[in-house]
Amino acid sequence: MPKRCALGCSNKNSYHQFPHPEKKPDRFKAWVHIAGGKLDSPADYELYRKKVICDILFTDRDRNRNNRLNFLAVPSLHLPDKIYIIFN
């Protein structure tokens, strides 16, 4: 089964796994919020740990020299209209 972005994109670009919920809990929760999900049970954490997000949802500032996502990267481009996020 082909990968599909957690936001429903059907792009055939590269994908990024959700951050690890224990190592980067704030970033993980931000990604889940952006994907429109909720973390009500341990099963929800497992579900989103296995999901991916398209590379096109990240800005150039979210990448390091090797074109990998940096530690603070959060999807911010091409998001559904209903999502409003404010980050410092």
pLDDT tens digits, one per residue of 49-80: 988 988 888 999 999 988 899 988 998 887 76
pLDDT band, residue 2 (cuts 50/70/90) = low
Asked if the structure places residue 26 within a domain, the reply is yes
pLDDT at residue 13 above 80?
no
Number of domains observed in the structure of the chain: 1
Determine if the pTM surpasses 0.85: no
Evaluate whether residue 75 is within a structural domain: yes
37 pLDDT higher than 90:
no
Q: Tell me the torsion sign for CA atoms 32, 38, 44, 45.
A: positive
Asked, for residue 88, whether it belongs to a domain, the answer is no
Q: Domain range spanning residue 41?
A: 1-6+15-83
Q: Is residue 27 included in any domain, yes or no?
A: yes
Whether residue 6 is predicted with pLDDT greater than 90 in this model: the reply is no
